[in-house]
Amino acid sequence: MRIAVLDDDPILLDLIKGALEHHGHVCHTYQDGASLLKDVRSETFDLLIVDWQLPDMEGPEVVHAVRQLHGLQPPILFITRRQDEGDVIEALSRGADDFMTKPLRMGELVARITALLRRAYPEAMGAHLVFGPYCFDAEQRALSVNGQAVELKNREYELALFMFRNPGRLLSRAHLREVVWGDNTDGPSRSLDTHVSRLRNKLELTPANGYTITAIYGMGYRLDPVSADSSASADGGD
């Protein structure tokens, strides 16, 4: 998963980053609220970890701004030295999903993050996934459409699986490149566009099959579920 961590302590940031990457996550770190808020306007993250006391604003302000932009996603974990009940209530009322006090225990941190991700993205946790005519077996790395096996190259399969695990969710180009290619550079990549185009054709991602891929200019891609009624209307049905 792609996680952003906001804290003004560079030593703690390195500790959290190391713990998260050890468990297979991609971690981006920030030391001020403005930098994180700038990125969440054009990037997507699966979870945010936010400190309360920051050099330019307070953590609850950051959480409130994120919720104004993106609603209930992504889940947010607050970390702070404050322990008063009133502080916990304020953090949760501003939109945080969980609360941890410093000093952090890395094992507990990872466990809380895993629980938040499991609740927020239940589709991403299963090995056998069925989406209408699309059936994934993550253990065998196999995909069938309407009961027919579809041959996909490694990156095509990874991209398809990740997008189907996040239906209806806008995924930034950088997010997709990091998860599928392990590429954390900022430069443009035509490879992503080529792979998306191939998936449209190979998987017949059309309203008739219940899913389409939408390109969001300047952001990334979204796999959109299409209702039966919408599909019938698109086909000229009554």
Report the alpha-carbon distance of residue 111 to residue 222 in Å, rounded.
29
Shared domain check, 116 and 134: no
30-48 residue pLDDT tens: 999 999 999 999 899 999 9
Edge-to-edge strands of the sheet including 211-216?
171-172, 220-225, 211-216
Residue 199 has pLDDT above 90, yes or no: yes
**What's the total number of domains in the chain?**
2
User: Is the domain of 102 the same as that of 138?
Assistant: no
- pLDDT for 148-177, tens place per residue? 999 999 999 999 999 998 999 999 999 999
- What pLDDT score does 174 carry? 92
Read off the pLDDT band of 237 (50, 70, 90). very low
The whole-chain average pLDDT of the chain stands at: 88
Taking residues 176-182, report their average pLDDT: 90
Q: What is the CATH number of the domain that holds 65?
A: 3.40.50.2300
Closest among 86, 84, 82, 109 to 98, alpha carbons compared? 109
In which domain, by residue range, is 81 found?
Answer: 2-120
d(CA 223, CA 142): 19
pTM score: 0.79
Last residue of a domain, one of 120, 138, 154: 120
